[in-house]
Amino acid sequence: MNYQGLEDLELLAKIGEQDRQALAALYDRYGRRVFALAVRMLNDPLGSEEVTQDVFMSVWRRGASYTSKKGKFTTWLFSITHNRTIDELRKRRRDRSRENADIDDHLNIQSGDISPADAAVARYEYAKIRAAMERLPVEQKSVVELSYFKGLTQTEIATKTGQPLGTVKTRMRLALKKLRTALSAEMGAQS
Partner 1 sequence: MTETKDSMESNDNLDPRFENLAGYVLGALDHADERSAVENLIENDPEVQAEFEELSEAANLLATSVPPVEPPASLKTRIMDMAGQGTPSRLVEIVNMYQKQGGRSGPPWWRRAFQSGLAVSAAAAVLVVVVGSALSYQNNQLGNEIDTLRANLATESVVVANLQTELSTTLSDSENRVATMKSEIKVMEDDFGAITEMVVHQEEMVSQLGIVNNALRQALSDQNWLTYVSTKEGYQVESWLASNAQQVTSTEPTASGLIAVRIVGNEAVFQVHGLPQPQSGYAYTLWLMGNGDPQPIAQFAVSEIGSATIAFLLPQPLQFYSSVVVTQERVDGIGVDPTGTMVLFAQTN
Which residues inside 118-157 make contact with partner 1, applying CB under 8 A?
A: 118-119, 122-123, 125-126, 128-130, 134-140, 144, 147-149, 151-157
Angle, nearest 10°, between helix axes 8-16 and 45-62? 70
- 30, 61, 80, 120, 143 from 162: Cα distances, Å: 38, 43, 30, 39, 12
Minimum gap (Å) between residue 99 Cβ and partner 1: 20
Minimum gap (Å) between residue 8 Cβ and partner 1: 14
Q: Compare residues 6 and 24 and give the one whose CB is closer to partner 1.
A: 24
Q: What is the dihedral of CA 166, 80, 71, 184, to 10 degrees?
A: 60
Cβ distance 11 to 30 under 8 Å?
Answer: no
Subset of residues 88 to 117 that bind partner 1, contact rule: CB under 8 A: 106, 109-114
Question: Does residue 42 bind partner 1 (CB under 8 A)?
Answer: no
Closest CA to 27 of 67, 2, 55, 65: 55
Where do runs of H (alpha helix) occur along 63-164? 73-95, 116-135, 138-144, 154-161
Subset of residues 3 to 22 that bind partner 1, contact rule: CB under 8 A: 18, 20
Subset of residues 72 to 91 that bind partner 1, contact rule: CB under 8 A: 72, 74-76, 78-84, 86-87
CA 73 from centre of chain: 13
Position among 1, 10, 71, 105 found at the interface with partner 1 (CB under 8 A): 71
Q: Compare residues 31 and 92 and give the one whose CB is closer to partner 1.
A: 31
Position among 36, 42, 44, 142 found at the interface with partner 1 (CB under 8 A): 36
Position among 3, 33, 93, 98 found at the interface with partner 1 (CB under 8 A): 33
